[in-house]
Amino acid sequence: MSSVQSVAEVTGELSATFSGQLLRPADAGYEEARKVHNGLVDKRPALIARCRGVADVVDAVNLTRKLGLEVAVRGGGHNVAGRATIDGGLVIDLSLMKGIEVDPKGRTVRAKGGVTWGELNRETQLHGLAVTGGVVSSTGIAGLTLGGGLGWLMGKYGLALDNLRSVELVTAEGKVVRASRDEEPDLFWAVRGGGGNFGVATSLEYQLYPVGPTVTAGLVIHTFDAARALLRFFRESTASASLPDEHTIFATLTHAPDGSGTKVAAMATCHCGSVEAGEEAMRPLKRFGSPVIDAIGPMPYCQLNGMLDGAYPRGAFNYWKSSFLAGLSDDAIETMISCFARCPTPMGQLLLEHVHGAAARIGAGDTAFPHRAEGYNFLVLSQWRDAADTDACIAWARETYAEMQPFVAAGRYVNYLDDDETGDPVPAAYGPNYRRLQELKTKYDPKNFFRMNQNIRPSA
């Protein structure tokens, strides 16, 4: 009996009780369902199990083992490396699982594994509440949170994973477990940074905080000629002891939002405190230099979280390289400017994400995510539309990352790792926490069933 016949027969048996969709390559809807956000990823799973509930996920895990297939898990499908899908295997697709329950009195929210940050923020903002989330609204909550969760609120409230209260997981054995500080505490430690290595996250519960509905945020854009001065100003502003936790600032060398392809230097920023405090904090950014666009001001928090969506369209080709920086020296700044001057795509950018405040006051061993020092995450974001530009755009990203090597730190952010890294970057990404993660991987997934991820291998 061929593997295709096996899939057909077994899914036929399951379809009577499966409440979602079981899509094979010839089925209507398969072609759309197999696509992920990154257009460079073009994989064809043998089966896509679009789950509607936890029981569907359990059935999909058991089905995968029965068929002897490899498995990938998809939440929002944003992972740049394409880990949310797989050639010839089974995709457990959570995108239909959209339940969100907000407890405004307890200031918590529980959301299903297919929820995106735009959907979560819309519900929590009805009550003037929020938690650190992604800066692109279509990003899934599960993938971003389990790998870390950098976002606008991290200076005040920590990373997304720092605000988890509990996670419901389906394990490799098809068991449903709840991990929290009181239940399976070792597993709870591991999933806060360990990504999808330990199971399928069917729901996540977060602590919420009073945020909005109006924050002070936006973009300030300068000419590319001002890049050197802007990046030095950014360095001084973020290194200042007076930078409040409420204030997050990112810097970028990017292209003008009008589609002209003009290179520019910019800062993207958010202050999540009072409007009055936000206006005061933003004054130096607005007064610096001679901006060509100043779009900083009061705005709804939900609008902020959709502000950058247009720069990351679904289906565009993406290739990223990223690392934390040891510091933002003048030489690093000069190298960034020189490299960006050669950027071949009007959708490319170099991004500096500043980490400070609450996110940097947590111990490196308190969660699986170890990167708790104040500093910068550097991202080479190569993005393009025409397949004919693929080689040039990938080459530019690799060359830029190579030229920045003298300035990088040892640590790397697992959510930004692409699929062609030299050697195994995962041990470096987890640093001192990797050994404990291996031990817990051995305990909860000894056969490495969940390996289509930034994989933590079980102990030998």
231-286 pLDDT, tens digit each: 999 999 999 888 999 999 999 999 999 889 999 999 999 999 999 999 999 999 99
130: pLDDT strictly greater than 50: yes
Q: What is the pLDDT of residues 84-118, one digit of tens each?
A: 999 999 999 999 999 999 999 999 999 999 999 99
3-93: which CATH topology?
3.30.43
Class of the CATH domain delimited by 100-211: alpha beta
Domain ranges, ordered by start, for the chain: 3-93, 100-211, 214-416
Residue 4 has pLDDT above 60, yes or no: no
139-165 mean pLDDT = 97
Calculate the alpha carbon distances from 98 to 51, 123, 140, 232, 248 in Å: 11, 12, 11, 43, 29
**Reported confidence tier of residue 347, pLDDT bands at 50, 70, 90:** very high
Above 50 in pLDDT, residue 2?
no
For residue 16, give both structure tokens. Answer: 């009577």
Alpha carbon distance 60, 83 (integer Å): 17
pLDDT of 1 reads: 38
For residue range 80-92, list pLDDT tens digits in order.
Answer: 999 999 999 999 9
| CB-CB contact of 368 with 191 (8 Å) | yes
The C-alpha angle 51, 2, 73, rounded to 5 degrees, equals 25
Q: pLDDT band at 9, cuts 50/70/90?
A: confident
Q: Does 16 have pLDDT greater than 80? A: no
pLDDT over 90 for what percent of the chain?
A: 90
Task: Provide mean pLDDT across the span 159-177.
Answer: 98
How sure is the predictor about 3, in pLDDT bands with cuts at 50, 70 and 90? low
Percent residues over pLDDT 70 in the chain: 98
* Residue range 394-449, pLDDT digits in tens: 999 999 999 999 999 988 898 998 777 777 889 989 999 999 999 999 999 999 99
pLDDT at 13: 72
Mean pLDDT of 109-136: 97
CA distance 455 to 425: 10
- DSSP structure string for 114-172: T-BHHHHHHHHGGGTEE----SSTTSBHHHHHHH----TTHHHH--GGGGEEEEEEE-T
Q: Tell me the two tokens of residue 1.
A: 């009996």
Average pLDDT of the chain is: 95
* Beta bridge pairs of residue 253: 265, 350
pLDDT digits (tens, 9 = 90+) for 194-237: 999 999 999 999 999 999 999 999 999 999 999 999 999 999 99
Q: Using an 8 Å Cβ cutoff, are 116 and 139 in contact?
A: yes
Segment 306-310 mean pLDDT: 93
CATH class of 214-416: alpha beta
